[in-house]
């Protein structure tokens, strides 16, 4: 699959960008029209968090999709999707700090210290910050090989995001959606492990001939 | 707030005028429009701390925890029509002189209902104010002449996966069971509710008969009750059995004792933007604190 230029840059990518904003638009519309139920603050906060998680998984899907289909262009969407994950994650945090807690820093601090689901959620967000901050071309060039190392943080932080959702889930028994995201994450990580193991097998052969290999 | 009205002094203008609430919401909406995020459902400027206005009927009946009818807050209202509430019988048994099986109509004949406006505090950190219709539980219980062995009262909700699709989930050990100490059950504030806003209870609110214990977290107030038993041993409730480290037997509203997932210091009153401070025993300390004198409430959560 290949989308010809200028259609990819001028049409397809902007369309994905617009699509990624739809959840936010729908939430805004819901707030305006008062259709988010009796507790709209809860609905907004949770929905933003779930979208952050979905975009993290979509970001991880990119290179898997490339390997599975050979569609190389999709890699050009990865930074945008990753930044949308950060965008929704930031709004999720903002919604909690502002709408939910109304800047009650003592309460927020206690939440993060005492409640494991808050601790891991906050950690996931903190880990996202350096990734978002080094997502532009100059940073990629300057960091060189370290850029790739740094951006492998996406794996543990997505794991923390899923865990955050598991531990929040109502009374440990409402686990349908956390389960869905866990399975998706397991598939995405599993595919990478599989590729890694395969390449290592090949790498052994190659290294005898002086080659090397890596996986992203 | 305890606000008890007897049927004879209850006029229809006392039971809340819903149009008034809608007007109020509209007002909040126009205020909220000035803020960056939101109007309508998020009244950014509304912060009526300390006031206890009854929560609109629509909110009370569309934001429910009733796991038998489904997970999430909206599912119970959507599935409530599956619940058949007539005919309805309640079995009373255990440590009492006159056990029996009663038809709901007969219970209602013997126990005239009155309106009581109570605060309702959910363990999840939100609260409402509900104008219930009901009768004191004590009046009902006394007719069965509990013996001295009746130390606790156990409440059992309907078990019928056909009517209650949530019961197909194996995550819980059905039926829903709740319990009170006998003195809690006999307390004048403890209500058996049959309606709200002057109407019959809708299915999602626990029709046709539900417990209301206003100084305890909402989950203690068992819904759609079919069996009441006087027992000697402390009954294991559904939540105690499911998540023992999170839910205790007493479940008294207590801002000092936090839940593993929710700080209980504050609560969001449905329809308000800023949280308000949670009160000890949900503001009913004056009436009920003596029931727990000398008890370690941290231990007995």
Q: What is the DSSP string of B49-93?
A: TT--PPPPHHHHTTS---GGG-SSSSHHHHHGGG---SS-EEEEE
Which of A33, A38, A114 should be substituted to probe chain B, the one whose Cβ sees the most B Cβ atoms within 10 Å?
Answer: A38
Residues of B in contact with A33 (CB under 8 A): 40
Q: What pLDDT score does B72 carry? A: 84
Radius of gyration of chain A (CA): 19
Q: What pLDDT is stored for residue A212 in this prediction?
A: 45
Q: Please, what is the average pLDDT of chain A?
A: 90
Query: In terms of pLDDT, which residue wins out, A22 or A3?
Result: A22
User: Does B15 have pLDDT greater than 90?
Assistant: no
pLDDT at B21 over 70: no
Confidence (pLDDT) at B51:
80
Q: Are A27 and B33 in contact (CB under 8 A)?
A: no
- The answer to whether residue A108 sits within a structural domain is yes
Count of residues in chain B: 301
The tally of domains found in chain A comes to 1
Q: What is the pLDDT of residue A46?
A: 93
Residues in chain B within 8 Å Cβ distance of A39? 63, 73, 126, 268, 270
What are A133's two structure tokens? 């901050």
Other CB atoms closer than 10 Å to residue A185's CB: what's the count?
19
Residue A209, in any domain of the structure: no
Q: B23 pLDDT exceeds 60?
A: no
Is A214 a member of any domain? no
Bridge-partner residues for B119, per DSSP? B129
How many angstroms away from the CA of A32 is the closest CA of chain B? Answer: 5
Of the candidates A30, A107, A173, the beta carbon closest to that of B172 is on: A173
Res. B223: pLDDT tops 70: yes
Structure token pair of residue B233: 């041993």
Name the residue with tokens 């259609």.
Answer: A7
Gap between the Cα atoms of B13 and B57, Å rounded: 15
Residue B47 pLDDT > 50: no
**Cα–Cα distances in angstroms (integers) from residue B175 to residues B8, B12, B100, B181, in the given order:** 38, 38, 20, 20
Q: Is residue A211 scored above 90 in pLDDT?
A: no
Sequential DSSP letters for chain A: --PPTTHIIIIIHHHHHHHHHHHHHHHHHHHHHT-S-S-HHHHHHHHHHHHHHHHHHHHHHHHHHHHHH--GGGGGGHHHHHHHHHHHHHHHHHIIIIIITTT-HHHHHHHHHH-HHHHHHHHHHHHHHHHHHT-SHHHHHHHTHHHHHHHTTHHHHHHHHHHHHHHHSGGGT--HHHHHHHHHHHHHHHHHHHHHHHHHHHHHHHHHTT------
Distances in Å between the Cα of B118 and the Cα atoms of A61, B73, B182 are 51, 21, 21
Chain A interface, best mutation among B28, B261, B268, by max A CB count within 10 A: B261
Say if A168 falls within a structural domain.
Answer: yes
pLDDT at B229: 98
pLDDT, residue B29, reads: 41
For the record, the structure tokens of B142 come out as 């006394």
User: Rounded mean pLDDT of A79-95?
Assistant: 97
Q: For residue B8, what pLDDT is reported?
A: 43
Which of B33, B37, B242, B270 is the best mutation test for A, with the most CBs of A within 10 A? B37
Residue B124 has a pLDDT of: 92
What was the pLDDT predicted at A3?
87
Q: How many CA atoms lie within 13 A of B30 on its CB side?
A: 5
Q: Which of A124-133, A163-172, B168-177, B195-204 has the lowest mean pLDDT?
A: A163-172
- Amino acid B43: pLDDT: 40
Mean pLDDT across chain B, nearest whole number?
A: 86
Give the pLDDT band of residue A1 (cuts 50, 70, 90). Answer: confident
Model confidence at B32: pLDDT above 50: no
Residue showing tokens 């943080």: A153
Contact check, Cβ <8 Å, A41/B266: no
B130: three-class secondary structure by DSSP:
strand
Domain that holds residue A115: 7-198
Query: How many residues does this entry show for chain A?
Result: 216
Higher pLDDT, B43 or B182: B182
Query: Which chain B positions have a beta carbon within 8 Å of A168's beta carbon?
Result: 261
Task: Please indicate whether, in this complex, the C-beta atoms of A173 and B171 are within 8 angstroms of each other.
Answer: yes
Contact: B41, A40; criterion CB under 8 Å? yes
Structure confidence at residue A201 as a pLDDT band (50, 70, 90): confident
Question: What is the enclosing helix (H) or strand (E) of B230?
Answer: strand B225-231
pLDDT score of B44 more than 50: no
User: Per-residue pLDDT for B41 more than 80?
Assistant: no
Among A152-156, A182-186, B79-83, which is the least confidently predicted range? B79-83
Tell me whether residue A183 is in a domain. yes
Chain B residues closer than 8 Å to A44 by CB: 42
> Does any domain span residue A101?
yes
Query: With contact defined as beta carbons under 8 Å apart, do B47 and B274 qualify?
Result: yes
Residue B42: predicted pLDDT: 39
pLDDT value at B181 more than 70: yes
Per-residue pLDDT of A18-36, as tens digits, reads 999 999 999 999 999 999 9
Contacts (Cβ under 8 Å, ≥6 apart) of A182? A162, A166
The yes-or-no verdict on residue A194 having pLDDT over 50 is: yes
Q: Collect all residues from A whose CB is shorter than 8 A from any CB in B.
A: 28, 30-42, 44, 99-102, 104, 107, 110-111, 114-115, 117, 167-168, 170-176
Tokens of B50: 């300390």
Residue B114, Cβ neighbours under 10 Å: how many? 18
- Cα–Cα distance, B190 to B142 (Å, whole number): 14
Q: Average pLDDT in the B246-259 region?
A: 94
Q: How far apart are CA B205 and CA B19, in angstroms?
A: 22
User: Using a CB-CB distance cutoff of 8 angstroms, which residues of chain A are in contact with residue B168?
Assistant: none
Q: Is residue A178 part of a domain?
A: yes
Superfamily (CATH) of domain B54-292: Oxidoreductase, molybdopterin-binding domain (3.90.420.10)
- pLDDT > 90 in chain B, percent: 73
Q: Which of residues 83-122 of B touch A (CB under 8 A)?
A: none
B residues 128-167 closer than 8 Å to A (CB): none
Residue B37 has pLDDT above 90, yes or no: no
Residues of A in contact with B68 (CB under 8 A): none
Mean pLDDT across the stretch A153-171?
89
Check CB contact of B46 with chain A, cutoff 8 Å.
no
């Amino acid at each position: 699959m290949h989308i010809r230029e200028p259609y990819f840059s001028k049409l397809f990518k902007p369309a994905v960008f617009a699509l990624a904003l739809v959840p936010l638009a729908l939430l805004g519309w819901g707030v305006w029209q008062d259709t988010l139920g009796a507790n709209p603050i809860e609905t907004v906060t949770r929905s933003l968090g779930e979208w952050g998680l979905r975009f993290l998984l979509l970001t991880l899907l990119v290179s898997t999709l490339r390997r599975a289909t050979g569609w190389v262009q999709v890699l050009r969407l990865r930074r945008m999707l990753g930044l949308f994950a950060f965008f929704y994650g930031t709004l999720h945090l903002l919604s909690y700090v502002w709408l939910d807690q109304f800047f009650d820093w003592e309460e927020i601090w206690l939440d993060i210290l005492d409640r494991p689901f808050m601790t891991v959620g906050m950690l996931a967000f903190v880990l996202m910050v350096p990734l978002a901050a080094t997502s532009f071309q100059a940073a990629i060039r300057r960091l060189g090989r370290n850029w790739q190392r740094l951006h492998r943080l996406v794996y543990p932080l997505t794991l923390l995001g899923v865990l955050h959702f598991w531990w929040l889930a109502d009374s440990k028994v409402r686990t349908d959606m956390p389960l869905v995201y866990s399975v998706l994450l397991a598939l995405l990580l599993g595919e990478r492990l599989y590729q890694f193991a395969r390449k290592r097998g090949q790498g052994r052969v190659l290294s005898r001939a002086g080659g090397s290999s890596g996986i992203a | 707030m305890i606000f008890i009205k007897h049927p004879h002094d209850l006029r229809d203008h006392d039971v809340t005028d819903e149009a008034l609430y809608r007007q109020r919401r509209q007002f909040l909406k126009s205020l909220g429009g000035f803020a960056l995020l939101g109007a309508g459902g998020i009244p950014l400027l509304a912060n009526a701390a300390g006031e206890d206005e009854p929560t609109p009927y629509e909110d009370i009946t569309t934001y429910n925890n009733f796991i038998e009818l489904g997970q999430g807050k909206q599912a119970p209202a959507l599935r409530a029509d599956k619940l058949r509430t007539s005919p309805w019988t309640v079995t009373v048994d255990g440590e009492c002189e006159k056990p029996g099986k009663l038809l709901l109509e007969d219970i209602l004949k013997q126990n005239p209902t009155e309106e009581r406006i109570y605060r309702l505090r959910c363990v999840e950190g939100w609260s409402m104010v509900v104008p219930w219709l009901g009768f004191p539980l004590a009046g009902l219980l006394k007719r069965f002449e509990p013996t001295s062995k009746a130390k606790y009262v156990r409440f059992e909700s309907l078990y019928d996966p056909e009517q209650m699709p949530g019961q197909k989930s194996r995550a819980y050990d059905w039926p829903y069971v709740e319990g009170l100490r006998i003195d809690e059950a006999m307390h004048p504030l403890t209500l058996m509710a049959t309606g709200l806003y002057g109407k019959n209870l809708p299915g999602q609110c626990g029709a046709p008969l539900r417990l209301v214990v206003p100084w305890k977290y909402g989950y203690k107030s068992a819904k759609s009750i079919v069996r009441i038993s006087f027992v000697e041993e402390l009954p294991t409730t559904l939540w105690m059995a499911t998540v023992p480290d999170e839910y205790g037997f007493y479940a008294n509203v207590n801002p000092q004792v936090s839940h593993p997932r929710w700080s209980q210091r504050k609560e969001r009153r449905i329809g308000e933007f800023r949280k308000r401070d949670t009160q000890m025993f949900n503001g009913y300390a004056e009436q009920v604190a003596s029931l727990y004198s000398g008890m370690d409430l941290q231990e007995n959560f």
